[in-house]
A and B are shown apart, each in its own frame.
Chain A
């Protein structure tokens, strides 16, 4: 018996010791040097000529917000100290979504920043970061978070989309109260999920995806009247072009697979930019005829690509995601 106790004690101690060693190693782990050229210590601000993104290249600065000149995306990445899982900026306002470390269930910090990337305001909401946008006038920031556990399917996922008025401080934790009309009738359902808001230049008209009962609707909404109506189906993560005429989005091909598509709002015509690879994000417009979007690469991380409405796709920045033109 004593032998057995001793053997068991040694086994348990070895296992617990091994686990602790592994955790300690993970804490100090990661590459010591950046895999790509990186410049630190330079101020980052919005000047309309800078492309912001999340740096995913191996090294001490992996996960940090980085910037390159729009004209020279291959330049060394300028990084600061800001960690953001999602980032978006417009008109002197930015939003940074950051998963709160060690929070179970997961919580996300929503950090609202000014033109010098200084923190103006912070909210903490349940869920993990999924999408973030700033209205073109810089007055409304919005986000989508993935939330576990409140769907009726056990362990199901749902999305929660909210917004914050930067000037007034008005916070809408979820836009589920939006009065929505489908086929002219007020739509009520308990399983409604929203994701991916995009605002028009007037800061009032906005588009968002609403899913319910297995269908995804594109909702065109009026912010001040706080009502919207479904104008199309199978349009997810809409992104309105700066001229307000087109919506770039991810179009479902099959379960869990989407491709890039563009809807012309006036003609309702759908065009496919010449890149049919699977995409899973809200595209970003650069001007009125170029799209930026991340694609999964062979390292199982993401690269930033750009494609014209008719001109072929090209690799913009490797090991990067969540692009934004400040």
Chain B
């Protein structure tokens, strides 16, 4: 914990702001908590509670849209009250409390739905103020590195989550409640770490505009970023389809199938910081688009006659490392400090909604045409949008 206490801005460790490292550790602990529940949830609902899989599917799809909307609310409120840390903290706390909700909900489907909704709401609320804090705590010249460090720490948490869940199940002799209690304890640790070690940033008071989010979109640079991010999202193939295509193409054993996301996460983890730094040097928009090229190549390999599954997963990880933290790092400096959370919320919500639409479209095309033609059409469309976004690019922030 000395990392956060050594100074207001920099640690000796690679000159990453202490606040960013602190936020990264909060995300790490929170992600362990979240991913351990994600890992056991299907098992718990269907096997532990005896729900049938159909009910599970309904529960699962229900709240994705709500998260997107709450992200806007979180961003807006955080800027309005000038309390980024408090709003992020409320989001983290809601998710923590929801873990105990599983114990209370028992096997009542509506109650479990409500618990999941609270969890997703917490995630939606905290994302924009957290990214705004990272952005405001960083030197604009090295913002890519800051986001890279945060995303790398976050991914370590996602790696550890299923392992911790397995450990708890093993130690408790398959007691699901123990997983929820442990998850709650870790999530609450995350809230404590946030409270104790993350410094709030107080940007100047917002000017009195009635709808600051809309006024932000009047800025042509920011508007262009949002539009391109959404347009690319519209043709970004959902993770589960990528893994499914890889499994089909190389006939990967069903017992190994659930491990495929680890390949993506591993590359993401390794490359998040280097690609963030690369963005700082050569331009973040270039790296962001380069990430989409990596995804395009990965999908062409899936559809083509040569290549290997591990190469596809590695490129899929490159895609995440070059886009997930790089986009807010690219766009953050375009936004006024007092509207940073709102702006990032608009950007990420547009992208998330576009990706949800993409998931539905791929599913539909897959049912109509089969997987490969659906993938090819999507990949070519993504290539076209990527090229267009490289030509009509927003002005790069130069510092």
**Does A149 interact with chain B (Cβ within 8 Å)?**
yes
Of B40-48, B283-291, B292-300, the one touching chain A: B40-48
Cα separation A5 to B4 with both chains bound (whole Å): 10
Of B72-80, B169-177, B338-346, B389-397, the one touching chain A: B169-177
Out of A15, A18, A27, A155, name the residue touching B173 (CB < 8 Å).
Answer: A27
Interface residues on A, range: 35 or more
Which DSSP category, helix, strand, loop or mixed, fits chain B's interface? Answer: helix
Give every chain A residue within 8 A of B195 (Cβ-Cβ).
8
Out of A7, A26, A148, A280, name the residue touching B196 (CB < 8 Å).
Answer: A7
Least distance between B250 CB and chain A CB atoms (Å): 14
Interface size on B, residues (CB 8 A): 64
Contact string against A for B residues 43-81, beta-carbon threshold 8 Å, 1 for contact and 0 otherwise? 100110010111111101100000000000000000000
Contact string against A for B residues 337-370, beta-carbon threshold 8 Å, 1 for contact and 0 otherwise? 0000000000000000000000100110011001
Give every chain B residue within 8 A of A159 (Cβ-Cβ).
53
Give every chain A residue within 8 A of B239 (Cβ-Cβ).
154
Of A102-110, A135-143, A196-204, the one touching chain B: A102-110
Known: A8-B193, A105-B258. A16 touches B55 (CB 8 A): no
User: A27 and B171: CB pair below 8 A?
Assistant: yes
Closest to A302 in B: B50
Cα separation A12 to B185 with both chains bound (whole Å): 8
Cα separation A126 to B253 with both chains bound (whole Å): 10
CB contacts between A and B, total, < 8 Å: 155
Cα separation A51 to B174 with both chains bound (whole Å): 28
User: B57 and A157: CB pair below 8 A?
Assistant: yes
**Does B188 interact with chain A (Cβ within 8 Å)?**
yes
Known: A23-B171, A102-B170, A152-B363. A15 touches B188 (CB 8 A): yes
User: A12 and B39: CB pair below 8 A?
Assistant: no
Query: From residue 276 to 314 of chain A, which have CB atoms closer than 8 A to chain B?
Result: 280, 296, 300
Residues of A within 8 A of B (CB): 1, 4-5, 7-9, 11-12, 15-16, 18-19, 22-24, 26-27, 29, 85, 99, 101-107, 125-126, 128-129, 146-150, 152-160, 173, 190-191, 213, 255-256, 280, 296, 300
Residues of B within 8 A of A (CB): 1, 5, 39-40, 42-43, 46-47, 50, 52-58, 60-61, 106-107, 162, 165-175, 177-178, 181-182, 184-186, 188-189, 192-193, 195-197, 238-241, 243-244, 247, 254-255, 257-258, 359, 362-363, 366-367, 370-371
CB<8 Å pairs between A and B, sample of 6: A11-B192, A19-B181, A85-B47, A154-B240, A155-B42, A280-B50
